[in-house]
A and B are shown apart, each in its own frame.
Chain A
Amino acid sequence: MSMNRREAIKGLSLGLAQISGLGLSVNAYALFQERDGDPIIPAQYRALISQIADTLLPEVDGKGALAQKVDVFLVNLFEQCYEEDKQALLINQLSHLDERAKKDFQKSFGMCSQEQRETLLIAFEQSDDDSEKEFFEIIKKETIKGFETSQVILEQHYGYQVAPGFFKGSVDITNK
């Protein structure tokens, strides 16, 4: 486990150096914190996670990834539930995504338009690079999960009830 972490973190130095070009203050130490301590995912990456979630599920009729606080769920999930090698993959690819944005559109991901952001994410989805692909799959899967398990979506769009108290096996569909 600790080997993994050390190796994974070694691989981060490049990404860090480049992301510092964003003009955000990088606290390299933040990456080295143990789980229960300070955040594993530093602030600028958290912002990036929010931006990606917002891109995948932008607000429609007042509902979307940010309105449902899916970004908060994602950060907690990645920090507390993901293994260290996957955390390193996520952080590497977040920084990589931002670099790609600067290369392709001469601005950070957060400054890109929705269309530009989608183009960037789709390039990851369709990439031949396994890490890029996996990064996209993880973040999309978990963003959808966070959205679909949120109260408003479950109750208003999926008829969710904790304790319905009944089951009807054969109901006529009237208006749908």
Chain B
Amino acid sequence: MNIQTSKSDRTYDAIVIGSGITGGWAAKEFADKGINTLVLERGRDVEHQKDYPTASKPPWELEYRGAVSAKRKAEYSYVGKFARAENVHFRLKDGEQPIVTEKPFRWVRGYHVGGKSLLWARKTQRWSEFDFEGPARDGYAVDWPIRYKDLEPWYDHVEKFIGVVGNRDNLDILPDSIVQPAFELSHIEKHFQSEIMRQYKDRHVISSRMAHLTDPQQIHKDQGRYRCMHQKMCNRGCVFGGYFSSNASTLPWAAKTGNMTLRPHSVVHSIIYDEQKGKATGVRVIDANTHEMIEYYARVIFLNASTFNSNAILLNSTSARFPNGLGNDSGVLGKYVAWHNTRARVTGWHKGFKDKKTLGKTPGGTYIPRFRNVHKQDTDFLRGYSVTIHSSRDLEADKNVIGSELTENILNPHLGDWEIRMLMTGETIPIEENHVRLHEEKTDKYGIPQIVFSCDWQENDMKQLADFHQQCGEMLDKAGFADFKATDSGRPPGSDVHEMGGVRMGRSEKTSILNEWNQVHQCKNVFVTDGSCMTSTGTQNPSLTFMALTARAANYAVEEMKRQNL
């Protein structure tokens, strides 16, 4: 793009920063409403189908059977062992954005068109009233300025478009989604389900709700998507569009309206605040290829760069009016960051059901919504955790030999025991000390200040973890499992990939950055609708809620533009 273009050529109705799960949604909603929209994305373009180089490839067609060459690996040392040929091209290259970790933190990023929508595990659960009421009831963070009923129609709206599989489980702790037929449970999961539901009054074992298509409707066919083919290779990009990604869904949809311009290689530096007008007028972008700074202008700006990037962009948007970052008179920007505790795992083995096996492949699994401290406080820790369950009965071979016996063993595998793996998703409590800020001297290669991470576990997290181990062990025991193993990965915060907060919503501009419409209290034409807006974290996989908040805010922004309030 020619940066000599006139100011009017660089002026849009709306600017969306980021093209991931939430940015894609903002773009789609605006484009559908006829709003001339510019989407700025720091990474390269990734076109659906065309730019999935490893999609649908069996192991023997991958170079080095999936291992990554040492030369290439050296470019991804931060990604480390997660650098696999299947999708290393969607991972973060060293040097792109160095960070300072005052305390251990692992930040997983996906910098390309589509963002982490190409990497995610596609689990989608709605929040319930118990989650929105949490901070007020239990006395932490601040009260959410919205409740379930505010978001309910937007959950509907999003789910119809992305497609969600699951059952109507009729649970107050996990409101039903609009669903397509659920993935079937494995035999051991069905057994576990019936035993737990029989022996516990407060625990529900359900088929995981996930953003896949098992019965595509017209709206999905219109997106060019097909039913999930059970390849179980989702994090390479899916040529069928069998699961929701920005690339398969919202972005091409927005493009088709003719109202969206997508500009890759555009690293947003900051938001421009106009003192006279008392509002934001545009954004400063560093072109990733030329490192030149370019300005783009719009009436409305949506910040969807993912949790920590949105924090950083606001913190870096300083002006005489806002010396500490845009909308940050309160000083809470960057603080009250929280995430999910996914350190704990319990694996169990069952000796029975030797006459049953599975066929085909499932991208799904089983899920137990939070059962601790739901209706009343019944433990010595705050909040609780959900449980994500996967299971298998795999073909095994004795490989403790060599020679023709080894060949024969591998050629004649036998089915092993049923195995079940239970993973924790614990709600962490946002506190002021857990924060991100900008480093005073260090910058990245674009001259943008580096982010300092100062986030740590709390005693509450460790109590939850111990309870998870204990409760899962008990459940496996009651369900007749012969043996189980409880582990704590000890991995640092961030490894859970559900980072949230720092730009939280709230009722007062003294204690929060955003209002009930995700508008910056003190700069109403800037909206922040990614995970950074989260006041608390719940125990659900969060992206469905981010999408619903984004769609709701975008539609509100359109109304406000029509009313000439923006």
- A residues bordering B, Cβ < 8 Å? 1, 35-36, 55-61, 63-64, 73, 76-77, 80-84, 114, 118, 121-122, 140, 144-151, 153-154, 157-158, 160-173, 176
Contact = CB atoms under 8 A, between A and B. Distances in A.
Query: Would you list the 9 A-B pairs with minimal beta carbon distance, nearest first?
Result: A170-B187, A167-B362, A149-B59, A164-B360, A169-B186, A163-B229, A167-B360, A60-B407, A168-B359
Nearest to B85: A81
Given A81-B69, A145-B65, A172-B355, A151 B60 contact: yes
B107 interface: no
B407 A167 contact: no
15 contacts: A57-B406, A73-B64, A80-B69, A81-B68, A121-B402, A149-B59, A149-B65, A153-B410, A154-B60, A163-B230, A164-B229, A164-B230, A165-B360, A170-B190, A176-B414
A170 B357 CA distance: 6
Contacts of B66: 149
B402 A122 contact: yes
Contacts of A161: 360-361
Q: Looking at B70, B187, B189, which has the most chain A CB atoms within 10 Å of its CB? A: B70
B431 interface: no
A82 B74 CA distance: 11
A176 B414 CA distance: 8
A77 B64 contact: yes
B79 interface: no
B395 interface: yes
Contact of B64 (A64, A81, A171): A81
B184 interface: yes
Given A77-B67, A169-B358, A160 B406 contact: no
Contact of A173 (B357, B406, B412): B357
A61 B65 contact: no
B17 interface: no
Given A35-B70, A81-B67, A140-B402, 8 more contacts: A56-B406, A57-B407, A73-B64, A81-B64, A153-B411, A162-B56, A167-B362, A173-B355
Contacts of B402: 55-56, 118, 121-122, 140
Given A163-B230, A167-B359, A167-B360, A144 B399 contact: yes
A77 B415 CA distance: 30
A58 B427 CA distance: 53
A73 B408 CA distance: 21
Nearest to A171: B359
A157 B412 contact: yes
B356 A172 contact: yes
Interface residues of B, number: 49
A157 B413 contact: yes
Contacts of B406: 56-57, 144
B551 interface: no
A176 B356 CA distance: 10
A166 B360 contact: yes
Contact of B65 (A121, A146, A158, A171): A146
Contacts of A144: 399, 406, 410
Nearest to A156: B411
Contacts of A77: 64-65, 67
Interface in B61-105: 64-71, 73-74
Nearest to B353: A170
A58 B360 contact: no
Given A114-B403, A151-B60, A173 B415 contact: yes
B58 interface: yes
B417 to A, nearest CB: 14
Contacts of B436: none
B185 interface: yes
Q: Looking at B189, B395, B404, which has the most chain A CB atoms within 10 Å of its CB? A: B404
Contact of A168 (B65, B67, B184, B231): B184
Given A80-B70, A144-B399, A162-B231, A167 B358 contact: yes
Contacts of B110: none
Given A57-B407, A122-B402, A171 B356 contact: yes
B339 interface: no
A133 B189 CA distance: 40
B364 interface: yes
Contacts of B58: 151, 154, 160, 162
Contact of A165 (B68, B186, B229, B404): B229
A142 to B, nearest CB: 9
Contact of B186 (A59, A170, A172): A170
B356 A81 contact: no
